[in-house]
Amino acid sequence: MFNKILIANRGEIACRIIRACREMKIAAVAVYSDADRDALHVRMADEAYNVGPPPSSESYLRWERIIEAAKASGAEAIHPGYGFLSENAEFVRHVNEAGLTFIGPSPEAMDAMGGKISARKIAIEAGVPVVPGTNEPLSTFEEAKITAEQIGYPVMLKASAGGGGKGMRLVADGKELRSALDAARSEALSSFGDESVFMEKAVVRPRHIEIQVFSDKHGNHVHLGERECSIQRRHQKVIEEAPSPINSAELREKMGACAVMVAKAVDYVGAGTVEFLVSDLDRSFYFLEMNTRLQVEHPVTELVTGIDLVREQIRVAWGENLSFTQEDVKMNGHAIECRIYAEDPDHNFMPSPGRIERLHVPQGPGVRDDGGVYEGGEVSIFYDPMISKFAVWGRDRQQAIEKMRRALKEYRVDGIKTTLPFFRAVMEDDVFVKGDLDTGFIPAFREREKLTQPSESDKDMAMIAAALSYEKGRSLMPAGQSPNGDEPSRWAMAGRMAQLISK
Ligand code: MV4
């Protein structure tokens, strides 16, 4: 087995990988930018190398510095985590040329899945359903119009080089087509330097369900069931679950078989994820893309399968056979993950960097916190503001929700705004509890929230009543002090009013 691995990443995922290394008696080497000198992953690693100034383009993305650090440390392999260089085929080639092992798929598999049209063609050849649409970029407006009429509205325009919803336009009818095509083209050009777009039939209110696949270097390919990732904000996942609330063994088997066919088609090695859109109408599913990395939301799969995906990645990179067969994979119970961000949910999820004054992470059976910060540490403006992935396991979905509600009430982060209050509200939402999820969940939830929220004067009255009852010796609550640290000025006012009234 490897003696030493370099982790080309930061934050919680670097910490997660260091933990797996430790369990396998492998030394872990961190890299860090000037902004991350005191970061948790640096403290946890056996040794650490500075790779440059704070912006990731000058540090975590500088492959030559990362390979230099690997050589200097004597590491034999590089784990890329997710983001940064994890899906960069050129980086993989440089790693291999340096005589190091890249923990992940071949650069050829990455290239094959990197382009949307290329991935679509591979899926079609493998016999996997894709959304009806064009297999080549659109040339003229006239061609687009004829194609749209053949496919039938609504249609979706997508940037060929795209990702993250950039250059994507929903077109309801022919009147909108010209302006949508122009907009998609210019957005594709400015985002990816390539203005080519293609067309698909739009799946209305789809679910986003993905299959975890795993492959070794000996041609074994298995799947580890699905994750439901429909709850997204601006194409960023926010809550993930395994299994999907649909929880159909039949659908899982069908989608799993398709995901394995895609992995086989590109001689995949390691952990990968095959994304599908699932129609709510008839549960028909369509291949969307394959992500050639370990994903942020991998813990929910680990919680229901009991398989350590990072350990398995390292074993497979060393050349071992998969440690399990398809028959060994059983989905047990239900897992839910909330991505906790340093963002203000009351102000359109604005980033909220700063010092974490106080941190209390929930404990108890069935909870898992993949964090990358510590009390007293700083959340930097330079990187993704995700501070933790908080996951729970229950015997079924209802118990998982109950556990998440309890745990989120215990979770406390002071000093910065976080998305914790948002998750507490979602866990109480009837539509979420029913599992009636689609990619439009968050905007619809925000509308429901407005309808059910107490008015500002209701909140004043409730606080004055609570503060007054304390003044009368009937409550445990100190007047003028919030029980859970929120709305301090309103509570101070309520306390002063209560004192006045009780005199
Ligand atoms: C779609 C679609 C409906 N029909 N394609 C969004 C990002 C990119 N990965 C694919 N996306 C979509 N493609 C067709 N033919 C709806 C979406 C979509 C979406 C997909 C997954 C999760 C959230 C989403 C939010 C809006 C739109």
Tens digit of pLDDT for each residue in 385-399?
Answer: 999 999 999 999 999
Average pLDDT of the residues in 117-132: 95
pLDDT at 335: 98
Closest CA to 169 of 134, 200, 209: 200
pLDDT at 63: 97
pLDDT at 162: 75
CA dist., res. 243 & res. 400, Å (int): 12
Phi, psi of 220 (to 5 degrees): -90, 130
Q: DSSP string covering 75-140, please?
A: -SEEE--SSTTTT-HHHHHHHHHTT-EESS--HHHHHHHHSHHHHHHHHHHTT--B-SB-SS---S
* Band of residue 281 on the pLDDT scale cut at 50, 70, 90: confident
* Band of residue 117 on the pLDDT scale cut at 50, 70, 90: confident
Compute the Cα dihedral for 124, 126, 127, 128 and give only its sign: negative
Find the 204 Cα to ligand 1 centroid distance in Å.
Answer: 9
Q: Encoding tokens for residue 382? A: 């330079």
pLDDT at 393: 98
Mean pLDDT across the chain: 94
Q: What is the pLDDT of residues 88-107, one digit of tens each?
A: 999 999 999 999 999 999 99
Nearest CA to ligand 1 atom 12: 165
Does the pLDDT at position 467 exceed 90?
no
Average pLDDT of the residues in 359-374: 96
Q: What percent of the chain has pLDDT over 90?
A: 84
Q: Per DSSP, what are the bridge partners of residue 453? A: none
* Band of residue 278 on the pLDDT scale cut at 50, 70, 90: very high
Q: DSSP string covering 345-386, please?
A: GGGTTEE--EE--EEE---STTEEEEE---TT-EE-SSS--E
DSSP state at residue 322: P
Average pLDDT of the residues in 1-10: 98
Which atom of ligand 1 is nearest the CA belonging to 232? 23
Compute the Cα dihedral for 275, 277, 278, 280 and give only its sign: positive
Find the 206 Cα to ligand 1 centroid distance in Å.
Answer: 7
Find the 255 Cα to ligand 1 centroid distance in Å.
Answer: 18
Average pLDDT of the residues in 105-124: 94
Residue labelled with tokens 């919030």: 482
For ligand 1, mutation pick of 116, 290, 439, 442 (most atoms within 8 Å of CB): 439
Nearest CA to ligand 1 atom 8: 165
pLDDT at 479: 57
Nearest CA to ligand 1 atom 5: 202
Nearest CA to ligand 1 atom 15: 202
Q: Are 157 and 197 in contact (CB under 8 A)?
A: yes
AA letter at 158: K
Neighbours of 260 (CB within 10 A): 22
Find the 280 Cα to ligand 1 centroid distance in Å.
Answer: 13
Q: How far is CA 127 from CA 121, 220, 225, 265, 286, in A?
A: 10, 19, 20, 10, 11
pLDDT at 477: 62
Which atom of ligand 1 is nearest the CA belonging to 201? 15
> 488-502 and 456-471 helices cross at what angle (nearest 10)?
50
DSSP state at residue 163: -
Binding-site residues, ligand 1, Cβ < 6 A:
131, 156, 165, 168, 200-203, 206, 208, 232, 235, 277, 288, 439
Find the 279 Cα to ligand 1 centroid distance in Å.
Answer: 11
AA letter at 155: V
For ligand 1, mutation pick of 208, 281, 437 (most atoms within 8 Å of CB): 208
Choice among 104-113, 184-193, 446-455 with the minimum mean pLDDT: 446-455
DSSP state at residue 130: B
Nearest CA to ligand 1 atom 10: 165
For ligand 1, mutation pick of 156, 231, 286, 437 (most atoms within 8 Å of CB): 156
Q: Encoding tokens for residue 54? A: 């704070």
Q: Are 392 and 335 in contact (CB under 8 A)?
A: yes
Closest CA to 240 of 165, 338, 310, 372: 338
Q: Encoding tokens for residue 248? A: 């159909």
Find the 428 Cα to ligand 1 centroid distance in Å.
Answer: 26
Closest CA to 117 of 194, 223, 211, 228: 194
Q: DSSP string covering 283-296, please?
A: --EEEEEEE-S--T
The question of whether 293 is a catalytic residue gets the answer yes
Nearest CA to ligand 1 atom 27: 439
For ligand 1, mutation pick of 153, 274, 277, 437 (most atoms within 8 Å of CB): 277
* H-run or E-run covering 192: helix 174-192
* Band of residue 478 on the pLDDT scale cut at 50, 70, 90: low
Find the 115 Cα to ligand 1 centroid distance in Å.
Answer: 16
CA dist., res. 418 & res. 276, Å (int): 30
Compute the Cα dihedral for 288, 294, 296, 298 and give only its sign: positive
DSSP state at residue 324: S
Q: Are 210 and 292 in contact (CB under 8 A)?
A: no
Q: What is the pLDDT of residues 125-169, one digit of tens each?
A: 999 999 999 989 999 999 999 999 999 999 999 998 877 778 899
Choice among 43-57, 155-169, 182-196, 428-442 with the minimum mean pLDDT: 155-169
CA dist., res. 495 & res. 180, Å (int): 55
Q: What is the pLDDT of residues 318-353, one digit of tens each?
A: 999 999 999 999 999 999 999 999 999 999 999 999
Does the pLDDT at position 476 exceed 60?
no
Strands, E, within 117-220: which ranges?
A: 155-159, 169-171, 197-201, 207-215
- The active-site residue, picked from 16, 120, 252, 293, is 293
